[in-house]
Amino acid sequence: MLDIQWIRNHPEELRRAAEAKGIPFPVNDLLALDERRRSLLKETEGLRAERNAAAERIAGLRRRNETQGLEREKEEARAIHARLAAAEAERVKVEAEFRRLMLEAPNPFSPDTPIGGSDTDNVEIARSGKPPAFPFPPRDHIELGESLGLFDLARGAKAGGSRSYFLTGAGLYLHRAVQQLALDLLADRGYLPMDVPVMVREDALEHSGFFPGGREQTYELEKEGKWLAGTSEAPLISFYSGEVVDVAEPIRLAAASACGKRDRRGATSEGCTAFTSSPR
């Protein structure tokens, strides 16, 4: 989430970021909500002070057994309470909408980032080697995998639907070996390998930047109040959530887990290896 003070000072930069990324983000609405929430916060704080002062006046009249003016004070206190309740209800509503837009605000990009609409606009920075030329017609990974018995797509679709598959024999061992190699390399670099939850709470996906924009790609377990993580990055980032930690040295965590995600073509479940480290 971006800093609201930065957004107040750089609204045009946020607009440019949204336009370049093709995101119809309402910067003016966000700034208006920010101004309204601050105004409501000031109003509710003032009304609370008035309510407390009225309560003290009423208590003083009662201690002194003074009935004159008591009903007037009580009526004024009730009016203040009603105004406070209405202002507080509006503040909660405005705060919720403000937070929703803050979560959707796109990150700015560096000045040297090329802007483009597709991969054809990518800028080549460097090239190493050249594509090999085979003396035979090359086959893609589907043809190779099926011919070698590494996976079974047809039976995967039969069991799990579109885009599901079975890894078989050497395909399974290769899959596990690649994950283990990744974890071994990360462990050698000081990362702590972990086995992580595949079901996470909504705030874990918000804190890791997958929500709100990635909701349509995520499976919700409604009765559990949880979601299937699409990458082990989400639980890794939440490992120290809400804690104060010493980052004099980077904290490095790594995990491999089953991951569930979906897109317009259908569902998929896959293994993934993720790692995260804190900045110095």
- In the structure, what pLDDT confidence band is assigned to residue 159 with cuts at 50, 70 and 90? very high
Q: Where are the beta strands (DSSP E) in the chain?
A: 151-152, 166-167, 192-194, 199-200, 220-221, 226-228, 252-263, 266-277
Cα gap 206→214, rounded to integer Å: 10
- Has residue 12 got a pLDDT over 90? yes
pLDDT in the model for residue 270: 54
pLDDT in the model for residue 236: 93
- Has residue 277 got a pLDDT over 70? no
- Has residue 238 got a pLDDT over 60? yes
Cα gap 66→38, rounded to integer Å: 39
- Has residue 104 got a pLDDT over 80? yes
Q: Give me the mean pLDDT over the 192-213 stretch.
A: 90
Average pLDDT, the chain: 90
- Has residue 280 got a pLDDT over 70? no
pLDDT in the model for residue 97: 97
Judge whether 237 and 207 are in contact, CB under 8 Å.
yes
The tokens for 51 are 């309510």
Neighbours of 2 (CB within 10 A): 16
pLDDT in the model for residue 276: 55
- Has residue 265 got a pLDDT over 90? no
pLDDT in the model for residue 216: 85
Name beta bridge partners: 270: 259
- In the structure, what pLDDT confidence band is assigned to residue 274 with cuts at 50, 70 and 90? low
**pLDDT, greater one: 273 or 46:** 46
pTM for this prediction: 0.71
Which domains does the chain possess? 4-104 (1.10.287.40), 142-277 (3.30.930.10)
pLDDT in the model for residue 207: 86
| pLDDT tens digits, 165-200 | 999 999 999 999 999 999 999 999 999 999 999 999
pLDDT in the model for residue 148: 95
Cα gap 275→187, rounded to integer Å: 11
Identify the DSSP state of 121.
G
